[in-house]
Amino acid sequence: MAIFTGAAVALITPFKEDLSVDYEQLKKLIDFQIENKTDCIVICGTTGEASTLTHEEHLECIRVCCEHVAGRIPVVAGTGSNCTETAIYLSKEAEKYGADGLLLVTPYYNKATQKGLIKHFTDIANSVSLPIILYNVPSRTGTNILPETAVYLAKNVPNIVGIKEASGNISQVAKLMSLADGCIDLYSGNDDQIIPLLSLGGKGVISVTSNIIPEDTHNVVKKYFDGDIEGARDLQLKAIDLCGALFCEVNPIPVKKATELMGLSNGVMRMPLTEMEPQNAERLEKAMREYGIEF
């Protein structure tokens, strides 16, 4: 059974002006998501600026999230690292806190061969009993999980059950699903490719856009599975310009600006992320207004 079906939000991590984590605001963001039909919370992923969190902050975000969600929807904790031992530590702790699943990004900077990826993910998976979603985002990590590697892991490691595909390579995803023959749950990692990946057998999306339009993102997937393909497609296409604006600078700079405009957060980021360029902020505001977002 899939960890979730539908739209999961890749949740931002709110910071105070002094750059400490704002846990009270985090709870408010979680409630906003649940009230607006998000199907799953993904905490401490790329959009959550996990790479700038200390281990203590990282785990506290997961603990607070699991405690505050309190079983209302699934919580998937990002516990990946380029250090296998660190990923094992974070994963074990997330399991203790009550996470429903884990999201494991491919090792970055030091990277790995496909053999190394198999060993890395297998060792982490063997350290916990939680179901695991692999996270393939080669534009950030410099490492691509080949279809054969993902399928090998899904078939040989019982709790590796899914993959978030953010390669943007539809042909690669098609090959993956052909080889998998149903052994792996597929989630889109790109908000502008939800429908294409659903058509290849996907279960949903792990979405940045859900931070600001959670109900519509949820409805793209729901309408598709309800058989309203035209309605799902229309919602997907309606959001294309908004998606473009949300990725006109590196994520999560634009989405944090968007949540600031909506009054959901103060938009504060940790270095090396910096304030959005004025012309890009103007583009984002325009796209949000044209979409119909009020702020």
Catalytically active residues are: 135, 164
Task: Catalogue the long-range contacts made by 27-34 (C-beta closer than 8 Å, 24 or more residues apart).
Answer: 27/64, 27/68, 28/264, 29/211, 29/259, 29/264, 29/265, 30/65, 30/68, 30/69, 31/68, 32/214, 32/264, 33/9, 33/210, 33/214, 34/69, 34/72, 34/73
Q: Give the containing element (helix H, strand E) for 23.
A: helix 23-35
Do 62 and 103 touch, CB atoms closer than 8 A?
Answer: no
Do 103 and 78 touch, CB atoms closer than 8 A?
Answer: yes
DSSP 277: P
Q: Which residue(s) pair with 193 in the sheet?
A: none
Secondary-structure percent of the chain, ordered helix, strand, coil, rounded to 5: 50, 15, 35
The CA distance from 161 to 186, in Å, is 9
Phi, psi at 270, each rounded to 5°: -95, 145
